[in-house]
Chains A and B, each alone.
Chain A
Amino acid sequence: EPEVTQTPSHQVTQMGQEVILRCVPISNHLYFYWYRQILGQKVEFLVSFYNNEISEKSEIFDDQFSVERPDGSNFTLKIRSTKLEDSAMYFCASSHSNRVRYGYTFGSGTRLTVV
C-alpha cells in the first residue's frame, strides 16, 4: 500500500536554528498537509497546500513557518528560528482530492526536539 514518507524520524536542533522537515507524499496525491502534536497533546492542523500554494493555515502557522514543494515530489516544512515550544511530533499527510472520502494518509512523523 502506498505510503507517505517522512524524514528524518527524529531531529534534534538548537534553539534559534533553522530546521527543514521533509515529506514524500503519495505520488498521485494533490493535496498536502502538516499537523503538529506537542507531547501528550492532541494532533493539530498547521497548513494545507495545493497547486503550489497554501490553501489554509492555522493560527499556529506564523511567519516562522513556511512550506514548499521544491521538486514535484518532496513537500517540506521549514521553521526559520526554532523555539523550545516548537518541540513536537510533526506529521505530514496527503490526499488525492480535497475530499477526505477519497482517502487521507499520514506519514509516520518527525519528532523534533529543540534544545
Chain B
Amino acid sequence: AQKVTQAQTEISVVEKEDVTLDCVYETRDTTYYLFWYKQPPSGELVFLIRRNSFDEQNEISGRYSWNFQKSTSSFNFTITASQVVDSAVYFCALSEPEIQGAQKLVFGQGTRLTINP
C-alpha cells in the first residue's frame, strides 16, 4: 500500500533562513504523482506542485524549490529566504495507482512550519 512519511512534525526557523521539508514515500507502482499542499491557519489546502514519477527534474518557483529523488523515494521541498507568511502546515501526498478507478491521494502527517520574525 502507498505510504507517505513526513518525519519532521514541527520546524521553527528565523525569517530569511532557508528550510527544507522532507517527504519520503512508498509505492510499488511505476507511474504515480507526488504533490505538496500548504495549509495556512485558515484551513484550506493550497496546491503547490504536482510532479509525475517520470519527471525527475528539480523545479523552482520563486522562493520554492522541489527535489525529486526517485532512487531514495524522496520529494523534498525547500523554501529559500523564508518569510513569516510561509508559516503553515505543509503536506506531501502521493496518488494511488492509475489502474484503481478514481484516483485518491494518500497524505503524509504534515510538517508544521513556523517562521519567526
Contacts and interface: CB of A to CB of B under 8 A. Distances in A.
Contacts of B95: 100
B41 to A, nearest CB: 12
Nearest to B45: A106
A104 B52 contact: no
A61 to B, nearest CB: 12
Interface in B60-117: 91, 93, 95, 98, 100-110
B101 A55 contact: yes
Give the contact-size bracket for chain B. Answer: 20 to 34
Given A42-B91, A43-B91, A89 B43 contact: yes
A89 B103 CA distance: 21
Interface of B: 33, 37, 43-45, 47, 50, 52, 91, 93, 95, 98, 100-110
10 contacts: A33-B102, A42-B107, A42-B109, A42-B110, A45-B106, A48-B104, A98-B98, A98-B102, A100-B105, A104-B103
